[in-house]
A and B are shown apart, each in its own frame.
Chain A
Amino acid sequence: MTSSEFDYTLLDDIIHSRIRLAIISVLISVEEADFNFLKQNVNATDGNLSIHLKKIEEAGYLTAEKTFIDRKPNTKYRLTEAGREAFEKYVERLEKMLGR
């Protein structure tokens, strides 16, 4: 298959959404981040972010760990190995489309 006949629908559906791509890109950069940090960097509302985090978690691309900081609940998110691989594959496919 050449780059010109590349099928865009072959891209991973979980990652191929603006907000989920943003979440995964943030987590690739920091290894681990809590809900507030993701919210600030992704520019999403609480509800919207929760839904997309759940979707990524269900796909097995991230894990959530609930802890307490100063007696306040704090959830930390981290990409799984499968999540990292999926992201790498996604970027590779995009680069392939551009013939890089």
Chain B
Amino acid sequence: MENKAKAELELEFISSIIRDTRKKIDDSGLSGAVWGSLVVIGVMVNYISGLTHNWSYALYVWGVLLAAGWIYSFLKFRNTRKNSIPETFGLKIQNALWRASGIAMTLIGIVCSVQFKREVSDMVPYSYIINSMAIAPLISFILGTAYYVTGYINDCKYTTRLAYGWWTGGVIIFYMKSYNTFPVFALMTILFQIVPALRYYKRSKMNSAGK
């Protein structure tokens, strides 16, 4: 009887240590909300620039937004390292995937924006390989891939389903031929990135509080 009580306590102790450790390494999801919000601002600046035919500031705004996003990501990475927060193998792959996707999206953003600036100035484009309006669908496809793999790693169907949203939305905006691609892309970012990230953040905070 005494042995049973001891065994019960021991198992409870093991579970509590594992639970507490996982809470500490759990990503809050805040990065998704921060990056998503920056993208929504940038895309809406593009939309307004398109409507007013004034593209003087769009490229600079994107420069500031991207710099802010990367500074935030760098500070977060430094904080993780400072607090000795370890990464599981799955988390390492996930972080590498999002870093690589982030770099690819930044490059697409820069290339397409440079191209766009030349197009609206009636200048000869640097390259005919990529159309400036391809920025939103291309980024949507990359985000879809990143969400799909993240959902697969974490065995989370909700995250995997977000990928289908990004891919479908990407195809739809690929066929749109006006500046309306920008608000549609902003709406997609809110629905498939910011809202899920905030939902995840709320759940992570509740877990930390032990609720």
* Closest beta carbon of chain A to B27's beta carbon, Å: 13
B3–A8 CB distance below 8 A: yes
What residues of B have a CB within 8 angstroms of the CB of A91 in the complex? Answer: 11, 14
B86–A32 CB distance below 8 A: yes
Count of A-B contacts with CB under 8 A?
67
A30–B17 CB distance below 8 A: no
Q: Determine the interface band of chain A, counting residues with CB < 8 A from chain B.
A: 20 to 34
Closest chain B residue to A31, Cβ basis: B88
* Closest beta carbon of chain B to A77's beta carbon, Å: 10
Q: Taking A37-B84, A95-B11, A98-B11 as contacts, is the C-beta distance between A25 and B4 under 8 angstroms? A: no
B4–A98 CB distance below 8 A: yes
Report A's interface with B, CB cutoff 8 A.
3, 6, 8, 18, 21-22, 25-26, 28-37, 40-41, 69, 91, 94-95, 97-98
Complex alpha-carbon distance, A37 and B17, angstroms: 13
From A18, A26, A31, A97, give the contact of B3 (CB < 8 A).
A97
From B6, B21, B85, give the contact of A26 (CB < 8 A).
B21
Q: Taking A94-B10, A98-B4, A98-B11 as contacts, is the C-beta distance between A33 and B86 under 8 angstroms? A: yes
Q: Residue B118 at the A interface, CB < 8 A?
A: no
From A6, A8, A34, give the contact of B84 (CB < 8 A).
A34
From B6, B10, B18, B85, give the contact of A28 (CB < 8 A).
B18
Report B's interface with A, CB cutoff 8 A.
3-4, 6-8, 10-11, 13-14, 17-18, 20-22, 24-25, 81, 83-89
Interface pairs (20), CB distance under 8 Å = A18-B13, A22-B17, A26-B18, A29-B17, A29-B21, A29-B25, A30-B21, A30-B86, A31-B88, A33-B84, A34-B84, A35-B84, A40-B24, A41-B24, A91-B11, A94-B10, A94-B11, A95-B7, A98-B7, A98-B8
A29–B13 CB distance below 8 A: no
Q: Taking A31-B86, A97-B3, A97-B7 as contacts, is the C-beta distance between A25 and B14 under 8 angstroms? A: yes
A30–B25 CB distance below 8 A: yes
A37–B85 CB distance below 8 A: yes
B86–A21 CB distance below 8 A: no
From B18, B24, B86, give the contact of A34 (CB < 8 A).
B86
What residues of B have a CB within 8 angstroms of the CB of A41 in the complex? Answer: 17, 20-21, 24
Complex alpha-carbon distance, A8 and B17, angstroms: 22
B10–A30 CB distance below 8 A: no
What residues of A have a CB within 8 angstroms of the CB of B85 in the complex? Answer: 37
Of B11, B14, B25, the most chain A CB neighbours within 10 A belong to: B14
Of A18, A26, A35, the most chain B CB neighbours within 10 A belong to: A26
